[in-house]
Structure formats: structure tokens, C-alpha cells
Amino acid sequence: MIDGASQTEESVAELPSVESSLASRVGATLVFLGLGLAAVAAVTGPNWTLLWLAFVTLVLAVVAPAVVRRMDYGQD
């Protein structure tokens, strides 16, 4: 039983840190911005221009983290 506990401790020590990378922060920020813009567009009427801007922001939220990772800014 003790051997199993030591193996568990070793595997936990190898896990990545809890700190988020720049790529994940960029993606999350763009998602929050896009959803906020969509909410404002829905409340103000249907504001189609703002809704399209929110859609473009959400598409960028999918693409931007991959671009940031490829530029080597995604790893700490």
C-alpha cells in the first residue's frame, strides 16, 4: 500500500502548474467580451451590428489562442 502511495505522489508532482498561460487568458477574455457584446446587442433591441461584432469576437476567441501558442507566448 505504501508503494502505491509513493507512485501517486510522484504522478501528482509531474502535473502542470495551476497558473494559466497567456493563450488561455487571451481566449477567455475574448469569450467574455463576445458574450458581453451579444448580451448588450440582445437587450438593446436587436442591434444587428453589435451582434455581428460579438460573433466575430467569438470566432477570434477560437483562433487567437492557437496564434498566440504558435508565437511561443502560450507557454510560461
Name the one residue in this structure whose C-alpha cell is 437587450.
Answer: 43
Phi, psi of 16 (to 5 degrees): -65, 160
Identify the pLDDT of residue 48. Answer: 93
Whether the per-residue pLDDT at 8 is higher than 90: the answer is no
Ranges of each domain in the chain: 17-70
DSSP H or E run through 65: helix 48-70
Answer with the residue of higher pLDDT: 4 or 32.
32
pLDDT digits (tens, 9 = 90+) for 18-62: 556 888 889 999 999 999 999 999 999 889 999 999 999 999 999
* C-alpha span between 35 and 31 (Å, rounded): 6
Phi, psi of 26 (to 5 degrees): -65, -45
Q: CB of 54 within 8 A of CB of 35?
A: yes
